[in-house]
Structure 1
Amino acid sequence: MLSLSGCGENPWNSPYRSGDAAAPVLYSSFSERPKHLDPARSYSSNEYVFIAQIYEPPLQYHFLKRPYQLIALTADGMPQVSYLDAAGRELSPDTPAEQIAFSLYTVRIQPGIRYQPHPLFATDESGAYRYHQLSEAQLEQIHTLDDFAERGSRELTAADYIYQIKRLAFSRFHSPIAGTMGEYIVGFNALTKRLREEEQRLKQETGQDRPYLDLREFEMAGLKQLDRYTYTIRIKGKYPQLLYWMAMPFFAPMPWEADRFYAQPGLWQRNIKLDWYPVGTGPFMLAENNPNLRMVLARNPNFHGERYPNEGEPEDRAAGLLEDAGRSLPLVERAVYSLEKETIPYWNKFLQGYYDTSGISSDSFDQAVQFSDQGDVGLTDAMREKGIQLTTAVQSSTYYFGFNMRDSVVGGDSERARLLRRAIAIAADYEEFISIFANGRGVPAQGPIPQGIYGHRPGVAGHNPYVYEVRDGKIRRRPIEQAKALMAQAGYPGGRDPQTGKPLVLNYDAVATGPDDKARMNWWRKQFAKLGIQLVVRSSDYNRFQEKMRKGTAQMFSWGWNADYPDPENFLFLLYGPNAKVKGEGENAANYENPEFDRLFNKMKNMDNGPERLAIIDLMVELLRREGPWLWGYHPKAFSLHHAWYHNVKPNLMANNTLKYKRLEPARRVESQRAWNPPVLWPVITGLLILLISLMPAVVVFRRRERSAAR
Structure 2
Amino acid sequence: PQLLYWLAMPFFAPMPWEADRFYAQPGMAERNLTLDWYPVGTGAYMLTENNPNRRMVLVRNPNFHGATYPTEGEPGDRAKGWLDDAGKPLPFIDKVIYSLEKESIPYWNKFLQGYYDVSGVSSDSFDQAIQFTQGGEAELTPMMKAKGIRLVTAVQASIYYMGFNMLDPVVGGDSERARLLRRAISIAVDYEEFISIFANGRGIPAQGPIPPGIFGYREGREGINPYVYDWVDGRARRKPIAEAKRLLAAAGYPDGRDAKTGKPLLIHLDVTGGGPEDKARFDWLRKQFRKIDLQLVIRNTDYNRFQEKMRKGNAQLFQWGWNADYPDPENFLFLLYGPNGKVRRGGENAANYANPEFDALFERMKNMDNGPERQALVDRMVEIARRDAPWIWGFHPRQFTLHHAWYFNAKPNLMAHNTLMYRRIDPQLREKLRAEWNRPVLWPLWVLLAVFVISLVPAVLAWRRRERASAREAD
Range of TM-score over shorter length: over 0.9
- Are 2:294 and 1:510 aligned? no
Q: State how 1:490-639 maps to structure 2 within 5 Å.
A: 490-639=251-400
CA distance in 1, matches of 2:454, 2:95: 50
User: Can you give the 5+ residue segments of structure 2 that lack an aligned partner in the other structure?
Assistant: none
CA distance in 2, matches of 1:682, 1:540: 58
Q: 1:446 to 1:265 in 2, by over 3 A?
A: same
Residue 408 of structure 2 aligns with which residue? 647
User: Which residue among 320, 328, 333 is the counterpart of 2:89?
Assistant: 328
Shift of 1:546: 2.0
Show CA shifts across 1:229-248 (max 9, x none).
xxxxxxxxxxx210111222
- Are 2:28 and 1:267 aligned? yes
Show CA shifts across 1:495-521 (max 9, x none).
112354232111111123211111111
CA distance in 2, matches of 1:618, 1:590: 21
Show CA shifts across 1:278-327 (max 9, x none).
01111100010011110011111111111111111242222111111111
CA distance in 2, matches of 1:575, 1:683: 65
Shift of 1:257: 1.6
Q: 1:550 to 1:305 in 2, by over 3 A?
A: same
- Are 2:181 and 1:420 aligned? yes
Shift of 1:372: 1.3
Residue 89 of structure 1 aligns with which residue? none
Residue 297 of structure 1 aligns with which residue? 58
Q: State how 1:667-682 maps to structure 2 within 5 Å.
A: 667-681=428-442
- Are 2:206 and 1:445 aligned? yes
CA distance in 2, matches of 1:471, 1:324: 42
CA contact (8 A) 1:405 1:412 kept: yes
CA distance in 1, matches of 2:350, 2:413: 28
Show CA shifts across 1:125-180 (max 9, x none).
xxxxxxxxxxxxxxxxxxxxxxxxxxxxxxxxxxxxxxxxxxxxxxxxxxxxxxxx
**Given residue 288 of structure 1, which amino acid in structure 2 is its aligned partner?**
E
CA distance in 1, matches of 2:447, 2:298: 56
> Secondary structure, in 3 states, of the residue corresponding to 2:431?
helix
Shift of 1:578: 1.5
CA distance in 2, matches of 1:623, 1:642: 42
CA distance in 2, matches of 1:586, 1:692: 79
TM-score (norm 2): 0.93
CA distance in 2, matches of 1:356, 1:501: 62
**Bigger CA drift: 305-314 or 424-433?**
305-314
**Given residue 216 of structure 2, which amino acid in structure 1 is its aligned partner?**
G
Residue 287 of structure 1 aligns with which residue? 48
Shift of 1:685: 6.0
Residue 4 of structure 1 aligns with which residue? none
Shift of 1:463: 1.0
CA distance in 2, matches of 1:547, 1:685: 68
Q: 1:265 to 1:692 in 2, by over 3 A?
A: farther
Shift of 1:538: 1.2
- What is the RMSD of the two structures over their aligned residues, measured on CA atoms? 2.2
TM-score (norm 1): 0.63
CA contact (8 A) 1:294 1:336 kept: yes
Shift of 1:694: 11
CA distance in 2, matches of 1:644, 1:358: 13
**Given residue 146 of structure 2, which amino acid in structure 1 is its aligned partner?**
E
Counting aligned pairs with the same residue, the percent is 69
Residue 309 of structure 1 aligns with which residue? 70
Show CA shifts across 1:542-599 (max 9, x none).
3332222222211111111111111100000001111111111111111111222111
User: Which residue among 342, 349, 354 is the counterpart of 2:110?
Assistant: 349
Residue 122 of structure 1 aligns with which residue? none
CA distance in 2, matches of 1:691, 1:290: 47
**Given residue 283 of structure 1, which amino acid in structure 2 is its aligned partner?**
A
CA distance in 2, matches of 1:252, 1:449: 28
CA contact (8 A) 1:513 1:541 kept: no
Show CA shifts across 1:206-232 (max 9, x none).
xxxxxxxxxxxxxxxxxxxxxxxxxxx
**Given residue 438 of structure 1, which amino acid in structure 2 is its aligned partner?**
A
CA distance in 2, matches of 1:648, 1:384: 19
> Secondary structure, in 3 states, of the residue corresponding to 1:269?
coil
CA distance in 2, matches of 1:284, 1:588: 39
Shift of 1:473: 3.4
CA distance in 2, matches of 1:539, 1:482: 31
CA distance in 2, matches of 1:574, 1:329: 39
CA distance in 1, matches of 2:351, 2:455: 73
User: Which residue among 358, 376, 380 is the counterpart of 2:137?
Assistant: 376
**Given residue 412 of structure 1, which amino acid in structure 2 is its aligned partner?**
G
Shift of 1:638: 1.1
User: Which residue among 166, 175, 185 is the counterpart of 1:405?
Assistant: 166
**Given residue 259 of structure 2, which amino acid in structure 1 is its aligned partner?**
P
**Bigger CA drift: 502-511 or 402-411?**
502-511
CA distance in 2, matches of 1:694, 1:503: 78
User: Which residue among 16, 20, 30 is the counterpart of 1:255?
Assistant: 16
CA distance in 2, matches of 1:688, 1:264: 67
Show CA shifts across 1:674-705 (max 9, x none).
1111213456667778999999999999xx9x
**Given residue 666 of structure 1, which amino acid in structure 2 is its aligned partner?**
P
Query: Between Structure 1 and Structure 2, how many residues are aligned?
Result: 465
Structure with the bigger RCO (C-alpha within 8 Å, sep 6+) is: 2
Q: State how 1:209-224 maps to structure 2 within 5 Å.
A: none
Shift of 1:530: 0.8
> Secondary structure, in 3 states, of the residue corresponding to 2:67?
coil
> Secondary structure, in 3 states, of the residue corresponding to 2:343?
helix
User: Can you give the 5+ residue segments of structure 1 that lack an aligned partner in the other structure?
Assistant: 1-239
Shift of 1:619: 1.3
> Secondary structure, in 3 states, of the residue corresponding to 1:265?
coil
CA distance in 1, matches of 2:436, 2:410: 24
- Are 2:231 and 1:470 aligned? yes
CA distance in 2, matches of 1:323, 1:500: 70
Q: 1:695 to 1:300 in 2, by over 3 A?
A: farther
CA contact (8 A) 1:456 1:462 kept: yes
CA contact (8 A) 1:398 1:560 kept: yes
> Secondary structure, in 3 states, of the residue corresponding to 1:590?
coil
Residue 5 of structure 1 aligns with which residue? none
> 4+ runs of 1 displaced by more than 3 Å?
680-701
